[in-house]
Amino acid sequence: MICYVVAETNQDESRAALTPTSAAGLVKLGLTVQAQPGLGAKAHYPDADYAEAGVELVADHAAALGAADLVLRVRKPSPEDIAGMKRGSWHVSFLDPFNEKDLIGSFSSAGVNAVSLEMIPRTTLAQKMDALSSQASLAGYAAVVEGAQRLQMALPMMMTPAGTIMPSRVFVIGAGVAGLQAIATAKRLGARVDAFDTRPVVEEQVRSLGAKFVKIDLGETGQTAGGYAKALTPEQVEKQQAGMAKIIAQSDIVITTAKLFGRQAPKLVTEAMLAGMKSGSVVVDLAVEGGGNVVGSKSGEDVMTDNGVTIIGHPCLEGTVATHSTQVLAANYAAWITHFWDDEKKEFNADLTDEIMSGCLITHDGAIVHPQFADKS
Ligand code: NAD
C-alpha cells in the first residue's frame, strides 16, 4: 500500500499529517510512505529526518497523488486533488463535513473513500486516534499563552517590597477538552480561574483543577449520547448571559470554547458585556471558526473595542505550537491506520462494520455512506 502525505498549501497551516517518527512506524508495518518535500518544515520536522525514517520524498505531486492508495493531509483537499486520485483510494483529513456538501459530492463521484477526522467516535477504543481532542488540548493551552501575552498584566500573585500584585482573573466558558486544558494552564501560571459549562457533569472536573465553577441555573440542559452539549433555548441563553455578565466584567482574560458539534457556536459574550470589561482585558474566542462565541470576533484578526478590550480570533491556535500539535496529530493518523492494518497479510483491512470506521467514513465506493450526510448531497 502506498501512503502519500501531502504538504499543506494553506498559508495559515503549519501542521503536517505525519512526523518522521510516526512515518517510521508505518514503514515498519509494511506501508510504502511517500511525502511531498517540505511536509513538516513549518513544524520543524526537516525533510532529511523523513528520509532517514524511510519516507520517499516525491516532488511530482500529481503523479504521487494518482498512484497513492491512501492520502493523508491535515486540511480538506481541493476539488482538483480529489479528481487526481485513483478510484478506490482512501483520503484521511479534517473535512468539516457539516459544511462541505460539494466536497463530499466530489469524493463520492471520484470514487474516493473519504474519512473525516472530526467524525471519529469519542470512545475509549478510539482515544488514540481522537484528533479533535489532541488538537483541542493544545488549542486550550495556546489560548492562555496567547491571552497572557497580550495582557499588560502578570497572571500570578507577586509579593514584592514595592507592594502586592494581585492574581489576574481568567474566566473559561466551556469546559470540554480545550476548556479544561485552558483552566489547567491558567492555574499553573498562577491566575484565579472561574469556569462555566452547560453540562453539569463537568463541575467536578473544573473543581479538581482548582478552579471555581460558576453556578447558573438554566433548568434542563443535558448532553447528547455522544457527550456533546445540546443547544440551549433562547431563554436559557439569556439566563446564561445574565449569570456570566458580572464575572466577565471582573475578568482580565475571558476564554470561550463553547461549541455545539455540527452546529453554529452560540453567541455568549455580547456587546454590552464587552463594554462592561476593563480597558486592557483580553477575550480569546476559540469558537471563532464555527461562528464565534463573542459578538464582533473575526477569524484571523485581533479586534480592539472602543473601551480597549482585545478580542483574539485566531482560527487555529494549536498551529502556534505546531511541533507538538503535529506530533500528536501524526500519532492519531498512525493509530487509525494501525487499527485497520492486517499484520499477517500486511494489508489495509477496511472493515466497514467496525464502529470506528462506520463513524468516520463519509464516502465509499462512489456513494455517500455516512447516515448524517447521505441525504444532504
Ligand atoms: P466541544 O468542543 O463540542 O465543546 C466545548 C465545550 O463547550 C463542551 O464542554 C460543551 O459542553 C460546552 N458548551 C456548549 N455550549 C455551551 C454554552 N452555551 N455555555 C457554556 N459551555 C458550552 O466539546 P469537546 O471538548 O469536544 O468534548 C465533547 C465531549 O466529548 C465531552 O463530553 C468530552 O468529555 C467527550 N470526550 C470523550 C472522549 C473519550 O471518551 N474518548 C474524548 C474526548 C472528549
> Of all protein residues, whose CA lies closest to atom 13 belonging to ligand 1?
258
Does residue 37 form part of some domain?
yes
Enumerate the active-site residues.
122, 127, 130, 133, 228
Does residue 129 form part of some domain?
no
Regarding whether 290 and 156 lie in a shared domain, the answer is yes
Regarding whether 173 and 231 lie in a shared domain, the answer is yes
Regarding whether 82 and 62 lie in a shared domain, the answer is yes
**Tens-digit pLDDT profile for residues 265-283:** 999 999 999 999 999 999 9
For position 208, which CATH number holds?
Answer: 3.40.50.720
Regarding whether 160 and 52 lie in a shared domain, the answer is no
**Tens-digit pLDDT profile for residues 214-230:** 999 888 887 777 778 88
Strand partners, 256: 173, 285
135 CA to middle of ligand 1, Å?
A: 13
> What count of other Cβ atoms lies within 10 Å of the Cβ of residue 292?
23
Domain hosting 101: range is: 2-119+322-365
Does residue 125 form part of some domain?
no
The CB of 177 under 6 Å from ligand 1? The reply is yes
Q: Look at residue 223 in the predicted model and tell me its pLDDT.
A: 77
Q: What is the mean pLDDT of residues 19-26?
A: 98
Does residue 342 form part of some domain?
yes
**Tens-digit pLDDT profile for residues 167-212:** 999 999 999 999 999 999 999 999 999 999 998 889 999 999 999 9
**Tens-digit pLDDT profile for residues 288-334:** 998 999 999 999 999 999 999 999 999 999 999 999 999 999 999 99
From 228, 254, 284, mutation site for ligand 1 pocket: most ligand atoms within 8 A of C-beta: 228
The CB of 132 under 6 Å from ligand 1? The reply is yes
Residues 226 and 126 sit within 8 Å (Cβ to Cβ): no
Q: Look at residue 375 in the predicted model and tell me its pLDDT.
A: 65
The CB of 227 under 6 Å from ligand 1? The reply is yes
C-alpha cell at 337: 491506520
Atom of ligand 1 nearest to the CA of 201: 32
Q: What is the mean pLDDT of residues 45-57?
A: 98
The CB of 53 under 6 Å from ligand 1? The reply is no
271 CA to middle of ligand 1, Å?
A: 25
Q: What is the mean pLDDT of residues 106-127?
A: 97
Atom of ligand 1 nearest to the CA of 126: 41
210 CA to middle of ligand 1, Å?
A: 19
Regarding whether 146 and 248 lie in a shared domain, the answer is yes
The CB of 199 under 6 Å from ligand 1? The reply is yes
Residues 278 and 305 sit within 8 Å (Cβ to Cβ): no
227 CA to middle of ligand 1, Å?
A: 7
Does residue 353 form part of some domain?
yes
Q: Look at residue 226 in the predicted model and tell me its pLDDT.
A: 73
Whether 259 shows a pLDDT value over 60: the answer reads yes
The CB of 139 under 6 Å from ligand 1? The reply is no
> What count of other Cβ atoms lies within 10 Å of the Cβ of residue 15?
25
Regarding whether 250 and 163 lie in a shared domain, the answer is yes
Atom of ligand 1 nearest to the CA of 236: 18
The number of folded domains in the chain is: 2
Mean pLDDT computed over every residue of the chain: 95
